[in-house]
Amino acid sequence: MLDYFRWQDVIDILVISVIIHRLLLLIVGTRAMQLVKGLLVMGALAAAASIFDLRTLSWFLGKALGVLVIAIPI
């Protein structure tokens, strides 16, 4: 794995880390942070549903995603 690790990869990781850090600093303490936490929980549930082949949970999350697409901008 380290055979494919280049110095550009280090720069890439640092740039992405700084961007994510700055975005988190912008939203900490706001309602957007609550939204991000909720999306992370839903993402974790979706991953678990996919890994363990949980059809009902997958269906539910699929329907909830449709509602979120409308609800988030509001």
Give residue-wise pLDDT tens across range 33-47: 888 888 899 989 999
> Domains in the chain: how many in total?
1
pLDDT for position 48: 94
Is 54 within a domain?
yes
Is 62 within a domain?
yes
Q: Strand, coil or helix: what is 65?
A: helix
- In angstroms, the CA 57 to CA 44 distance is 12
Q: Which amino acid is at 44?
A: A
- In angstroms, the CA 38 to CA 44 distance is 10
Q: Which domain holds residue 47?
A: 30-74
Residue 1 pLDDT grade (very low, low, confident, very high; cuts 50, 70, 90): low
More confident residue, 4 or 50: 50
